[in-house]
Structure 1
Amino acid sequence: MLLICSLLASALLTPPQRALAGFTEKQLAGFEVTELTGTVSEALSKEKVIEIVDPEGHTEIYTVGLDLAPLGLQPGDEVSLSVLDGLLVDLEASQDQELSFSREDIILPTDMGKLKKGTRVALASGTGRVVKLDRQDGSLSLMGPFGGINNLDVLVTPENDPLEDLKVGEFVDFRLVQPVAVDVRKLPTPARGPSVFTPPLAADLLRSGTTLKAELLESFEITHLHATVTRLLPDQQVLEIEGPEGHNILVTSAVDLNTLRLRPGSNISVDLLDGLVVELRPSTIKALSFERQDVEIAGDFGPVPKGTRVAMATGSAEVVRISRSDRTLSLRGPFGKVHNLDVSKRMPGKAFDELALGDFVEFRFIKPVAIRITPLASR
């Protein structure tokens, strides 16, 4: 409650402005939709604001484009939401190395693409630090002064690509439209306890001639981020890292880990081929399972040389987040962990398009592969 009150305080002292605050209709029409589940921590019907804990444990605050009162939401309620993702419309290198954030709320005077007349929209500006970058998706993550991470789509045009020369770790001045929930649905509370298991770091390498065809990797997208090493097995070319949002990610490496002198606690800059779903189908059993098998790539693929060890995962999981425009998916597995994955372009569209939140699916996916690792000075 403290977080939501502190962020709303300045916005609620004065009535929402009936203006566009310098944003054009084209900019406000650039939103993409993400569907996700979450747990309510606070719902303010009068102000049309909801605070939830998302599937990965983040606290997220959304303005809401509908009347919350009929839902009667209370802390602890489970909900599913359709959210117009946060949209970055201005970005430039900052001369300031101090993080800052200011917010103003407006009421839209007309329909703006997916945003309807009368919707309350939160606008923000300030200085943030880039902690994650995905040029193919046109998205980045900024850390603000409160320690929160803002995951944002970027408005890219043929004339202007704000991500072109951007690097992880840089400070930027930004202007953005914060996420807006355009649909909220109350769900039954699931009987789900916390996981006490830790997924294993090691796995056997299949030696029966099984290899991964390099063309499967053509759908991979590259993410640039800073991370901290938590566990590693150099002889198996496997490491676990903690990303900027505090999540642990198991990664196989196309870089020889024995040459880097890494240890738990080492800070690194890393380029990752994101986790990729290559098979997906509805599951007839509502149970979670997970099995990992390591294979080798059969041929060179760009920066990934022949023989690189790749971790393949199979099993069944629950769908907890969907972004259809980005073709990304979040699956909750048996260890309580949420896997954020791209969906292969080779997969039939129907298998992905017909998914709904809460579905149980059988999957096969490739876990992230590090193609560049650079040790950083300790911070």
Structure 2
Amino acid sequence: MTRCSGISRVLAAGAAAVVSTLAFHMPSRAGFTPEQLAGFEVTHLRGEVNAVLPKQKVIEVIDPEGHLEIVTVGIDMAPLRLRKGDRVDVSLLDGLVVDLERSTATTLSFDREDIIMPMDMGPLKKGMRMALASGTARVVKVSASDRSLSLMGPLGGIHNLDVVMPSGDDLFPALQAGDLVDFRLIQPVAVGIDRIATAAATAGASTSQPLLSSRADRRTSLKAELLEAFELSQVQGTLLQYEPDQQVMELKSPYGHTLLITMGGGLKTAGVRNGDEVIVDVLDGLVVDLSKGSASSLSFNREDVILSEDFGEVRKGARVAMGTGTAEVVKISEEDHELSLRGPFGGVHNLDVRPGLNGDPLAQLKLGDFVSFRSIQPIAIGIRPAR
């Protein structure tokens, strides 16, 4: 689960909270600069419409990970005739943090202010409605290398956000999972929406990704250049089960789905039990082979390998899980080389795609494509109880 981010998850849960949050309107000055706007990235997302407010130019979308996202719509909504239950492909400008400070508050809060664009700014035109959000939130994931983080707000929702380069003191390098922060951010803005005719994919059945591989271990080495493409992240979640002898754990992330993590060896796990809230330092999952496929069904195979030499902070003899199979593309972030794949068990895998893959497949893909892939699953290099 890399930057699971790229997409801003709004702080909203439940119909009453959504209606009050969406309907609030207070036109004001923009409150951000063209330089901050340049930090936006266009991401492509497939999801299901949960609510439509044409007058407010706002829709609520259930994203591939199953939680709600409020999106301000920067185009004419009338021709779309969107209704609840429609499946859509959305091109949007991702949520962007423009102010971030360590908070002295002990409670979480959220406020939203609608703004009217005073001038053209790239794809955002004069007179277009946008939304600014501010408040206090808890950090649940930090990705230092690409300056993205995930924030949990008072209503249980998650923001996956980019942090624009600050002009003053830079708080970001000192942030850790569990910290409380005061923030101001620009919420996601849709710049293109296409309705799709395919039925919603059903969440995978009663099966789940196997915790242990049924294949025999084999010894292998990983190319050193792969390490450069890995991203070091901190993620806070609930430990569902772990097998210290097998060097593998299963974590329930703040987004509600499970994450299989292999343990890089030498981890101090004394006193860690199932059900504990923990913070894990991970090398995020990485796609090393990717090609557009002709398959119309999803598949997954897992193979455990034992490292025959050190791989960065992962020691020789550590178990690493390799995943292969076919999956559906549900989110594309070309600029950050990130991809979200829906697998056969209903889960969504947020992965980095190693730059330099033959044919630059990321640029050739679109939402809904089936791909064949080979990936290294996340590797834990540290674990400790959450505060």
- Cα distance, 1:257–1:204 mapped onto 2, change above 3 Å: farther
Structure 2 CA distance, aligned partners of 1:145 and 1:250?
Answer: 27
Q: Which residue of 2 aligns with 1:242?
A: 252
Give 3-state SS (helix, strand or coil) of 1:212's partner.
Answer: coil
Conservation of the 8 A alpha-carbon contact between 1:77 and 1:189:
no
Offset of residue 267 of structure 1: 1.9
Instruction: Tell me the alpha carbon deviations over residues 7-40 of structure 1, each in whole angstroms, 9 at most, x when there is no partner.
Output: 124x23x4x22x223x122112321111010001
Instruction: Tell me the alpha carbon deviations over residues 29-58 of structure 1, each in whole angstroms, 9 at most, x when there is no partner.
Output: 321111010001111122110001001101
Structure 2 residues not aligned, in runs of 5+:
1-14
Q: Which residue of 1 aligns with 2:84?
A: 75
Note if 1:367 corresponds to 2:377.
Answer: yes
Write the mapping of 1:11-30 to structure 2, written as runs, cut at 5 A: 11-12=24-25, 14=26, 16-17=27-28, 19-21=29-31, 23-30=32-39
Structure 1 CA distance, aligned partners of 2:218 and 2:36?
Answer: 53
Structure 2 CA distance, aligned partners of 1:119 and 1:296?
Answer: 55
Note if 1:283 corresponds to 2:293.
Answer: yes
Write the mapping of 1:208-357 to structure 2, written as runs, cut at 5 A: 208-256=218-266, 259-348=269-358, 350-357=360-367
Offset of residue 211 of structure 1: 3.8
Q: Which residue of 2 aligns with 1:202?
A: 212
Note if 1:170 corresponds to 2:179.
Answer: yes
Residue type at the aligned position of 1:302? G
Structure 1 CA distance, aligned partners of 2:183 and 2:268?
Answer: 40
Structure 2 CA distance, aligned partners of 1:208 and 1:255?
Answer: 17
Give 3-state SS (helix, strand or coil) of 2:245's partner.
Answer: helix
Note if 1:5 corresponds to 2:15.
Answer: no
**Please, what TM-score do these two structures have when normalized by structure 1?**
0.93
Q: Which residue of 1 aligns with 2:132?
A: 123
Structure 2 CA distance, aligned partners of 1:157 and 1:205?
Answer: 48
Structure 2 CA distance, aligned partners of 1:191 and 1:226?
Answer: 30
Structure 1 residues not aligned, in runs of 5+:
none
Structure 1 CA distance, aligned partners of 2:254 and 2:379?
Answer: 17
**Residue in structure 2 matching 1:49, options 50, 53, 58:** 58
- Cα distance, 1:73–1:310 mapped onto 2, change above 3 Å: same
- Cα distance, 1:159–1:72 mapped onto 2, change above 3 Å: same
Offset of residue 119 of structure 1: 1.9
Residue type at the aligned position of 1:307? G
Instruction: Tell me the alpha carbon deviations over residues 99-138 of structure 1, each in whole angstroms, 9 at most, x when there is no partner.
Output: 1111111111211234222221100111111111111121
- Cα distance, 1:111–1:258 mapped onto 2, change above 3 Å: closer
Structure 1 CA distance, aligned partners of 2:122 and 2:310?
Answer: 44
How large is the Cα RMSD of the aligned pairs?
Answer: 1.8
Structure 2 CA distance, aligned partners of 1:63 and 1:160?
Answer: 31
Offset of residue 204 of structure 1: 4.2
Offset of residue 315 of structure 1: 0.5
Note if 1:155 corresponds to 2:128.
Answer: no
**Residue in structure 1 matching 2:45, options 36, 47, 50:** 36
**Please, what TM-score do these two structures have when normalized by structure 2?**
0.91
Conservation of the 8 A alpha-carbon contact between 2:238 and 2:251:
yes
Structure 2 CA distance, aligned partners of 1:87 and 1:376?
Answer: 26
Give 3-state SS (helix, strand or coil) of 2:360's partner.
Answer: helix
Give 3-state SS (helix, strand or coil) of 1:353's partner.
Answer: helix
Give 3-state SS (helix, strand or coil) of 2:173's partner.
Answer: coil
Offset of residue 218 of structure 1: 2.3
Conservation of the 8 A alpha-carbon contact between 1:27 and 1:89:
yes
Structure 2 CA distance, aligned partners of 1:154 and 1:191?
Answer: 32
Structure 1 CA distance, aligned partners of 2:308 and 2:228?
Answer: 14
- Cα distance, 1:74–1:251 mapped onto 2, change above 3 Å: same
Instruction: Tell me the alpha carbon deviations over residues 177-208 of structure 1, each in whole angstroms, 9 at most, x when there is no partner.
Output: 11111111101032633322112111146445
Identical positions, percent: 53
- Cα distance, 1:207–1:98 mapped onto 2, change above 3 Å: closer
Write the mapping of 1:110-149 to structure 2, written as runs, cut at 5 A: 110-149=119-158
Structure 1 CA distance, aligned partners of 2:310 and 2:102?
Answer: 36
Give 3-state SS (helix, strand or coil) of 1:186's partner.
Answer: strand
Instruction: Tell me the alpha carbon deviations over residues 282-331 of structure 1, each in whole angstroms, 9 at most, x when there is no partner.
Output: 10122111000011223222211122111000000100001111111000
Conservation of the 8 A alpha-carbon contact between 1:234 and 1:257:
no
Residue type at the aligned position of 1:215? E
Give 3-state SS (helix, strand or coil) of 1:7's partner.
Answer: helix
Residue type at the aligned position of 1:138? R
**Residue in structure 2 matching 1:86, options 84, 89, 95:** 95
- Cα distance, 1:170–1:259 mapped onto 2, change above 3 Å: closer
Structure 2 CA distance, aligned partners of 1:246 and 1:195?
Answer: 15
Offset of residue 78 of structure 1: 0.2
